[in-house]
Structure 1
Amino acid sequence: MSAPVNRTRPYQSYVYAYPHKTAYRPLPDRPSLRELWSAERKDALSLYLHIPFCEVRCGFCNLFTRIGAPDELSTRYLDALDRQATAVRDALGDRDPVRFAAAAFGGGTPTFLTAGELDRLCDIAEKRTGVDLRAVPLSVETSPATATADRLAVLADRGATRLSIGIQSFDDQEARAAVRPQRRADVESALSRIRDARIPVLNIDLIYGIEGQTARSWRRSLDAALAWEPEELYLYPLYVRPLTGLGRRAAGSNQAWDAQRLELYRTGRDHLLTEGYEQVSMRMFRRTGAPAQGADDHACQTDGMIGLGCGARSYTSALHYSFDYAVDMHQVRSIIDDYTATEDFGRAEVGRRIDESEARRRHLLQSLLQAEGMEVEGYRQRFGHHPAHDFGAELERFASLGWLDETAAPDRLRLSAEGLAHSDALGPELFSPAVRAAMAAYEPK
């Protein structure tokens, strides 16, 4: 049983993937991709292409990205992406059918690329891996400055079904406090262009807990977003992480900041529920009747994930693998340079093995952090036990805190409203001791 984390802090860690990349280590045996994928199912793969460039670096951002792409770096990066995609498709082989069920372009900011480069990115995905982008859900991330008409036209033409834009706040002063230079007028113009492109699903990201933010200003941002009738909204609590622009700033009293974020979360949740949105997870809200676009929050990275690009992760049932990870700008640049110079992409370099114990934890995490919860029978069929057999102490603790929904049917394990609100405390309590130790030993770079 894993040791519980400090339950007084509701914001421990955003668990969107398990194990976290800080638990990855160089793989001594550098296994071949052909070997890794030989026994895996390949009939419903997910494809993720990572573009590690942004026009600015937001103060809260700890994603693998750099500012700008000088000296034709974007061209060299796409060249390397082409080589990697070719190597991966070769490793998948042709013995079993290879089919894709979903695709996504993330980053960074994929729309940092020019319209012509985006067209090439789509060509790499289709011609090298065999995915039909017009036949599967295709989600793409963008930003206000890069959501230009020509780029959006390419994405619409190539089959994008979902566009996710990070706004964070419609208040210019709050945006500056988050070290995100933008003007509301430019944000509104970008949203207008996105709607004109007629991509079926618009997602808007907002952040709460920004310095100087109040319940009233938070409500104004929510209403400004709702005016565009987005099919999805993500509400993120602000985190201040090492090596980020805000990492050197004090966020005030942890207790006071936690209380502020919880209050703003509940304000946002309740407002969206009254405005016709359903809660999918702590962060994700979908307009009632809007089409789902692939897996939902927390479950977006499943077994059978092909990640292309130096910040992307790939998942087989037994190994999660990627490239080196960093936040510091100099380290990020070095890793990108190494990636663009790589000729042989046939082996996994950095990752973490997944045994059945970790697979159980991952299944429970991905399912329980969804508002609909987990089907107990599905867990039993996969692992041979009731989840209480494997996680009895943890589930008892969650129940004692009021985090489990006592009204759920016997065949469903589901969080209460309070449990969803504490997802960022609950999730880390399910980390294994080994993963927890690896994350603690990781030296930020």
Structure 2
Amino acid sequence: MTTTAAPARPYQHYVYAYPHKTAYRPLPERPALADVWAGEPRDALSFYAHVPFCEVRCGFCNLFTRVGAPEGLTGRYLDALERQARAVREALGEEAPVRFANAAFGGGTPTFLEAAELTRLCDIAERLMGVDLRAVPFSVEASPATATADRLAVLAERGATRLSLGVQTFVEAEARAAVRPQRRADVEAALGRIRDAALPVLNIDLIYGIEGQTAASWRRSLDAALAWRPEEIYLYPLYVRPLTGLGRQGRAGGTGEAPDADLAWDRERLARYREGRDHLLSLGYEQRSMRMFRRADAPAQGPDDYACQTDGMIGLGCGARSYTSSLHYAFDYAVAMPEVRGIIDAYTATRDFSRAVHGRAVDGDEARRRHLLQSLLQAAGLPVVEYRERFGTTPEEDFPRELAELVERGWLAEEDEGRTLRLTPEGLAHSDAVGPPFFSPAVRAAMADHELR
């Protein structure tokens, strides 16, 4: 299809949640959690626990995490997380049954915690929050250095169905370029331990666009990962964000008008993406989103009736978010190490977790945008009837200009006689350009006004 639309940079913004956390602000009214959750459905909640510690910080990382932990800090953090769990469970009340449909530990690196501390984290989830970890999909993130046999044994015994290992590259020169010190032998040893632990689903994260990466070296990383027959592989484009190690080095990926170097980098990343996608598809993997590929014969992780577009989420920990139908809330957010340490210290000193302190209200317009984004950016697409049943309108009525532009670019198609809006293969490839046009003016303004720290 020929398009008259101006070229769009393919790597603008990774939309894993909407509104973005940089649009959150302090909540002046500090609403009580009991009021925030009053009347909210709670029969299919998602549970997330955030562990903001890593043994090293990669050059590309802008997640909320700190390097290492002084003596006793992880224990104090779990103490605070336990206080928060008690406050949240009390706020949910007993008027309606509370049921969790899935669970995840993320970070940071949850397996930074020692085995006994991981056991305690599982106990908090089960005994205080009421999450049946052995009965729901339960995912945990890990790094090669922290995927030790004793930690993996805890996770296997407590019912973890998925272990996601951040490898990023099997090429040591690329790891150094990404400021990610690791040896391939250590990565392979960690993968062996994970397979020995017999967790049902292994995911391996890989990154394309690293300085010095070529088609040949990218294929070597892909094939090294595939040798372990992972049930899932995530392919991430490298982003260089402010205040990260690579950002401070002045690497490619600036904002504003794209210089020639950035445009060339865009072309390289798109080429690597297509090479990785086509290679995985040829080997029996199914594409679930721009980033996620799942082996066609991978085992199901168990029942999962959680719908990210409509169901609520409970997040514990100072880097976690919680979602209701009308409010998204969390704690403060930063990237720079001094600021991150200060927020963690404030969290561990908090005694009263009964109120939401930082977040953003979600009105009807924002709910429409969120529902569309959370659906459209998945390979399965957006069922129009679900949207109409929820909002009384159609996506075309609410977002005619944005959707028409996607069609003009050849990125969006109507399928099943108009019952589904689905991104084309090129639309999926440009997912990080598809999402931002649907951000509301208010969210755009708040993100632009966010103070980098």
1:383–1:294 distance in 2 versus 1, CA, 3 Å: farther
1:124–1:144 distance in 2 versus 1, CA, 3 Å: same
Structure 2 distance, partners of 1:294, 1:403, is: 33
For residues 385-404 of structure 1, the aligned pairs below 5 Å read 385-404=393-412
User: Aligned-pair distance for 1:271?
Assistant: 0.2
Residue 429 of structure 2 aligns with an amino acid whose one-letter code is A
Structure 1 equivalent of residue 275 of structure 2:
267
Q: Work out whether 1:337 is the aligned partner of 2:338.
A: no
Structure 1 distance, partners of 2:439, 2:302, is: 25
Structure 1 equivalent of residue 295 of structure 2:
287
Q: Work out whether 1:14 is the aligned partner of 2:20.
A: no
Secondary structure of the residue aligned to 2:435 is helix
For residues 217-236 of structure 1, the aligned pairs below 5 Å read 217-236=217-236
Asked whether the 8 Å contact 2:136–2:303 carries over to 1, the reply is no
Structure 2 equivalent of residue 365 of structure 1:
373
Structure 2 distance, partners of 1:38, 1:7, is: 46
Structure 2 equivalent of residue 380 of structure 1:
388
TM-score (normalizing by structure 1):
0.97
Secondary structure of the residue aligned to 1:247 is helix
Unpaired stretches in structure 2, ≥5 consecutive residues: 254-260
User: Aligned-pair distance for 1:293?
Assistant: 4.2
Asked whether the 8 Å contact 1:47–1:307 carries over to 2, the reply is yes
Residue 185 of structure 1 aligns with an amino acid whose one-letter code is A
For residues 39-438 of structure 1, the aligned pairs below 5 Å read 39-248=39-248, 249-251=250-252, 253-293=261-301, 303-405=311-413, 409-438=417-446
Cα RMSD of the aligned pairs, angstroms, is: 1.5
Secondary structure of the residue aligned to 1:145 is helix
Deviation string 1:6-26 (CA, Å, 9 cap, x unpaired) is 853110010000000000000
Residue 437 of structure 2 aligns with an amino acid whose one-letter code is E
Deviation string 1:111-165 (CA, Å, 9 cap, x unpaired) is 0000000000001111110111111111000000000000000000011000000
May I ask how many residue pairs the two structures share in their alignment? 439
TM-score (normalizing by structure 2):
0.95
Structure 2 distance, partners of 1:42, 1:98, is: 5
Asked whether the 8 Å contact 2:309–2:375 carries over to 1, the reply is no
Asked whether the 8 Å contact 2:309–2:374 carries over to 1, the reply is no
Deviation string 1:75-98 (CA, Å, 9 cap, x unpaired) is 000000000000000000000001
Secondary structure of the residue aligned to 1:39 is coil
Residue 252 of structure 2 aligns with an amino acid whose one-letter code is A
Residue 376 of structure 2 aligns with an amino acid whose one-letter code is L
Secondary structure of the residue aligned to 1:306 is strand
Structure 1 distance, partners of 2:251, 2:65, is: 24
Asked whether the 8 Å contact 2:200–2:301 carries over to 1, the reply is no
Secondary structure of the residue aligned to 1:117 is helix
Deviation string 1:308-337 (CA, Å, 9 cap, x unpaired) is 000000000000000000000000000000
User: Aligned-pair distance for 1:406?
Assistant: 5.2
Deviation string 1:160-200 (CA, Å, 9 cap, x unpaired) is 00000000000000011000000000000000000000000
Secondary structure of the residue aligned to 2:61 is coil
1:319–1:155 distance in 2 versus 1, CA, 3 Å: same
Structure 2 distance, partners of 1:335, 1:407, is: 47
Q: Deviation above 2 Å: which 4+ runs of structure 1?
A: 5-8, 291-296, 299-303, 405-409
Secondary structure of the residue aligned to 2:245 is coil
1:145–1:300 distance in 2 versus 1, CA, 3 Å: farther
Structure 2 distance, partners of 1:352, 1:373, is: 26
1:294–1:421 distance in 2 versus 1, CA, 3 Å: farther
Structure 2 distance, partners of 1:239, 1:161, is: 29
Structure 2 distance, partners of 1:70, 1:148, is: 21
User: Aligned-pair distance for 1:443?
Assistant: 1.0
Residue 250 of structure 1 aligns with an amino acid whose one-letter code is R
Deviation string 1:408-444 (CA, Å, 9 cap, x unpaired) is 5410100000100000001011100000000000011
Moved more, 244-253 or 409-418: 244-253
Among all aligned residue pairs of Structure 1 and Structure 2, give the percentage whose two residues are the same amino acid: 74
Structure 1 distance, partners of 2:290, 2:184, is: 26
Asked whether the 8 Å contact 1:321–1:351 carries over to 2, the reply is yes
Secondary structure of the residue aligned to 1:212 is coil
Structure 1 distance, partners of 2:75, 2:6, is: 46
1:279–1:83 distance in 2 versus 1, CA, 3 Å: same
Asked whether the 8 Å contact 1:302–1:315 carries over to 2, the reply is no
Asked whether the 8 Å contact 1:163–1:203 carries over to 2, the reply is yes
Secondary structure of the residue aligned to 2:286 is strand
Asked whether the 8 Å contact 1:201–1:231 carries over to 2, the reply is yes
Residue 188 of structure 1 aligns with an amino acid whose one-letter code is E
Unpaired stretches in structure 1, ≥5 consecutive residues: none
Structure 2 distance, partners of 1:409, 1:343, is: 55
Secondary structure of the residue aligned to 2:412 is coil
Residue 38 of structure 2 aligns with an amino acid whose one-letter code is S
Structure 1 distance, partners of 2:361, 2:191, is: 42
Structure 2 distance, partners of 1:144, 1:6, is: 43
User: Aligned-pair distance for 1:71?
Assistant: 2.1
Structure 1 distance, partners of 2:141, 2:7, is: 34
Residue 404 of structure 1 aligns with an amino acid whose one-letter code is L
